[in-house]
């Protein structure tokens, strides 16, 4: 399907828009008369509909917006839910555990414990709804503090973070030897 430059530009603007865009606003950006923009949008909308595309262009709430086709709702929903509940990487699990046990915690504190920059992992866990910004530290620069979310608790089947298992047994710390041999060897 051959696209003219106006249609291409309108499509690109609609793709990146977070809300319906009025024809007048689009006309201003593309520097074309509003009437011409409205006609191009209607042609584009008709093309999507006629071709059986997975997207639709509609005039809603005083502006134009791209939507997924209603017949694709099931697959779109399955995709969104599967990406939010996909397995977590080892880095994500480490970061999530640090925040869960130490919260509220700063990005720098997480990085210091893990020994690597954890900015990307914190963002990914926040995007997935498992972590959230819970305030700002009172220290220099007032860095963001992170904590777990209700979704984190729900996914782990916990009523609160106090229900997390004790940390010491999970670290595999060795029990002190009962006969004192360990103390004698240390003193030698």
Q: Which fold has domain 90-166?
A: Arc Repressor Mutant, subunit A (1.10.10)
pLDDT digits (tens, 9 = 90+) for 14-70: 998 888 999 999 999 999 999 999 999 999 999 999 999 999 999 988 899 998 898
From 2.60.40.1180, 3.10.129.10, 1.10.10.10, 1.10.290.10, which CATH number describes the 5-71 domain?
1.10.10.10
Return the pLDDT at 89.
Answer: 85
**Could you tell me the pLDDT band of residue 170, with boundaries at 50, 70 and 90?**
low
Return the pLDDT at 104.
Answer: 96
Same topology, domains 5-71 and 90-166? Answer is: yes
Return the pLDDT at 185.
Answer: 39
**Based on C-alpha coordinates, what's the Rg of the chain?**
27
The answer to whether 105 and 143 are in contact (CB under 8 A) is no
CB burial of residue 178 (10 Å; 0-12, 13-18, 19+): exposed
Return the pLDDT at 82.
Answer: 65
Extents of the domains making up the chain:
5-71, 90-166
pLDDT digits (tens, 9 = 90+) for 101-148: 999 999 999 999 999 999 999 999 999 899 999 999 998 999 999 999
CA distances from 79 to 15, 73, 75, 85, 128 (A): 19, 10, 6, 10, 13
CA nearest to 101, candidates 168, 169, 167, 171: 167
Return the pLDDT at 81.
Answer: 65
Tokens of 124: 């990914």
**Could you tell me the pLDDT band of residue 74, with boundaries at 50, 70 and 90?**
confident
């Amino acid at each position: 399907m051959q696209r003219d430059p106006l249609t291409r530009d309108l499509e690109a603007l609609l793709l990146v828009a977070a809300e319906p865009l009025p024809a007048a606003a689009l006309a201003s950006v593309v520097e074309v008369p509003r009437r011409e923009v409205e006609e191009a949008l209607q042609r584009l909308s008709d093309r999507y509909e006629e071709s059986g595309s997975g997207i639709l262009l509609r005039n809603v709430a005083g502006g134009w917006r791209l939507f997924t086709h209603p017949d694709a709702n099931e697959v779109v929903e399955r995709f969104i839910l599967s990406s939010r509940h996909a397995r977590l990487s080892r880095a994500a699990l480490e970061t999530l555990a640090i925040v869960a046990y130490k919260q509220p915690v700063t990005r720098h504190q997480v990085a210091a414990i893990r020994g690597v920059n954890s900015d990307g992992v914190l963002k990914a866990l926040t995007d997935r709804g498992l972590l959230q910004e819970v305030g700002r530290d009172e220290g220099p620069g007032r860095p963001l503090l992170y904590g777990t979310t209700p979704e984190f608790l729900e996914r782990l089947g916990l009523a609160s973070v106090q229900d997390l298992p004790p940390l010491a047994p999970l670290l595999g710390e060795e029990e002190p030897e009962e006969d004192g041999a360990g103390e004698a060897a240390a003193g030698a």
